[in-house]
Each structure stands twice: as structure tokens, then as C-alpha cells.
Amino acid sequence: MSETDSFIDEVTEEVRRDRLFALMRRYGWIGILLVVLIVGGAAYKEWKYLRDTAQAQAFGDKVLAAMEAEDRGAALAAIDTDKGRAGVLGLLRAAEAVERGQPEAARTALEALANDTALPASLRALAQLKAVMVAGTTMEPAARDAALASLAAPGAPFRALAMEQQATIEIEAGRTDEAVALLRQILAEAGLTAGLRQRATEVMVTLGVDPAAE
């Protein structure tokens, strides 16, 4: 390589280096910002996870302490929590009211949860189902049937449980064939729990029907 070529190469390299430094001075802050955002985002995510875990543990400890208290109803009522966990706490309070022999209070609390649009749809559906179960025959038959029909619709989160309540109503009314048809639908449901499968099977046997028969 001649001295001229070597000189040209050196000049070219210097020009490239100068351009690179100029670009870094002009746009280097973008890379630094990206690094800061990535590190900051990871740190915030970890902090949020730890915070949420601590809050969940604290809520669980309060609930356990309340369930062991002498007056569980008062202890549960004294727990103050965020909206996300208020629904779960409301279900526990309603269950405690039922145990204390206060079904009307439980039903009122459950219906309030069922109508609270700020709560997850699945929790609202569960509250509505429990409200129907607590009300029993004290609820207007038409209103009860309409509520259960909605809860037993395809794709509903507690469809099988709602159908179980419908079957119970049919049995109480002496409509055995309708009850058996509902029980067979329950047994055909995907993802059916072992407990519900056993209950449906036992009821069919009690009615004198072979669960395995078509």
C-alpha cells in the first residue's frame, strides 16, 4: 500500500470517527433514555409485585383473624380494603350473616354485590347465584326462574351450579323428567368439578334413574 493510500485511509477513518462521535453527541441521549426506561420499568414492575403480594398477605391475615374472632360478623365488617377485594369480603360477610340466621341481611348484601358494576363479572354472577340460593322459596318464582336462566346460559361462569338449582326446583315441584334432563346436561358439562358430578349422580340414583343410561 502506498503512503498516499495509507494517508487516505487514515483520513477516511478519522472522518468516520468524527461522524460517529457527532451522532453520539446528537442522539446518544436516546440510548441512555431507553436504558433508563428499561431499568426503571423492571424496577417498578418488581416493586408493584412486592407491594401487591404484601397487600394480599395482609388482607388474608385480617380475614383469617376475623374468622377466628368470637364475633366474626363484627370482625369481618371492621376490615377495610380496596375495591378489588371488597367483593370477596362481601361474600364472606354474607355467608356469616346466613350462619347467624339473618338470611335477609345476607340476601341484601349479595344483591348489592351482584349489582355492583365495578366488580368482576364472575364475582357478580356468584353473588347473584348465592342470593337466589339464600332467598329460596321466599323469592318470587318468576324472578328466581329468570335469574337462574341467565346464570345457566351457555358460557356463564357458574352455569352448572345454576342448572343444579334449577333441577332442585323441578324436583320440589314434582317435575322429575325435567330435573333428570337438567342433571344429564350438568354431567355433560366440560370441566365439571368432582363434587358437583357426584351430587348430580347421587340425585339421579335417588330418583331411580341410571346416570349412565342414555
Assigned C-alpha cell, 146: 329468570
Give 104's pLDDT tier (boundaries 50, 70, 90): very high
* Mean pLDDT of all residues belonging to the chain: 84
* Domain-wise residue ranges, the chain: 71-135, 140-214
Cβ neighbours of 94 (radius 10 Å) = 26
Q: Is the pLDDT of residue 84 over 70?
A: no
Angle at 131 between CA 75 and CA 199, to 5 degrees: 105
Give the pLDDT confidence of 26-73 residue by residue, as tens digits.
766 676 777 788 888 888 888 788 777 777 787 777 777 877 777 777
The pTM is what?
A: 0.68
